[in-house]
Amino acid sequence: MPAYLIARLFSAAWVTFGVVSLVFFLVHWVPGDPVDVMLGESAASADREALRHALGLDQPLLAQWGDFLRGVLHWDVGQSLYYQEPVSRLLAQHFAATAELAAAAFVVALVIAIPAGIIAAARRGSVWDMGAMGFSLLGVSIPNFWLGPLLVLVFSLGLGWFPVSGRSGPVSLVLPAVTLGTALAAVLSRMIRSSLLEIMHEDFIRTARAKGLSPYRVWVRHGLRNASLPVLTVLGMQLGALLGGAVITETVFNWPGVGSLLVESIQRRDYPVVQGSVLLISLLYVVINLGTDLLYARIDPRIRLGQA
């Protein structure tokens, strides 16, 4: 297990380094100048050059990259060019909203996916199965930037049940969570169904049925628990994707999270905030997937022994 852990940590560190470096160079190659955003295009040349020197933007790109990496190693991702505040403080202020949205979307996905997957597997070929798989297909096919405004039109503007946007209490969380959790629910329900159909032909399931156990105990206590390994893998991968989807959802619903901060910072050419936001999202993605790999190895010893 220690060798497996060290290998996964080394791989996670390289992935994080690659993502952060790639984003750094892409952000700096995007057309636009943060000095123009801060001072306006009509500012005097001397003022522009003085601000560029104060921000360190007059240094070679590789030197700026080296300074950024050294700062990351010391847990310092710089200061916002627009807000003139430490990026870590801005991320801390917005992360609570993103975590709240991601947790709510995760709950929505589990509430939908687990019953839908079990029912679809238990009644294979029935109307219930076709309905669950039809929902799964729609959930995967409909993008967040289309589903979000549709829900706003129906449930906010049409029925008036929920706020249009903003973070003003538990009610305002419903539509963003449903928008973000639907795609995850669609993927999980299909995986639960396929895993259960594969497990239900095993000998221990036939033994459980022969003992006279109730359908609930056969499908949930025995079937679902043993079908959880592939579901766990997909769940870990999709949790990371959930953070990426939160950028779009937060923008649609004006949710004050890291995603909205990232989009605003891209528009303002606020390089440190963009780099810090992507660093945070990528670290969370890597940590979630690393935790999933370790949990998988804990459950199935063949993984850490290299036998599967």
**2-29 vs 61-73: helix axis angle to the nearest 10?**
140
**87-122 vs 127-141: helix axis angle to the nearest 10?**
160
**121 is a domain residue:** yes
**107 is a domain residue:** yes
CA 283 to chain centre: 11
Total number of domains in the chain? 1
Instruction: Give yes or no for a contact between 280 and 258, defined as CB atoms under 8 angstroms apart.
Output: yes
Enter the tokens of residue 50. 């003085």
**173 is a domain residue:** yes
Domain that holds residue 207: 95-304
Three-state DSSP class for residue 86 = strand
**58 is a domain residue:** no
Predicted confidence (pLDDT) per residue in 120-167, tens digit: 777 777 787 788 778 777 777 778 778 888 888 888 888 878 888 777
Nearest of 148, 138, 299 to residue 225 by alpha carbon: 299
CATH number for the domain spanning 153: value is 1.10.3720.10
**237 is a domain residue:** yes
Nearest of 65, 99, 93 to residue 271 by alpha carbon: 65
CA distance 276 to 271: 8
**153 is a domain residue:** yes
**18 is a domain residue:** no
Look-up: residue for tokens 């430490």?
A: 86
Q: Is 76 left (phi over 0), alpha (psi -120 to 50) or beta?
A: beta
Mean pLDDT of 94-116: 85
Q: Quick one: pLDDT at residue 307?
A: 45
Predicted confidence (pLDDT) per residue in 31-51, tens digit: 666 666 666 666 667 766 776
**262 is a domain residue:** yes
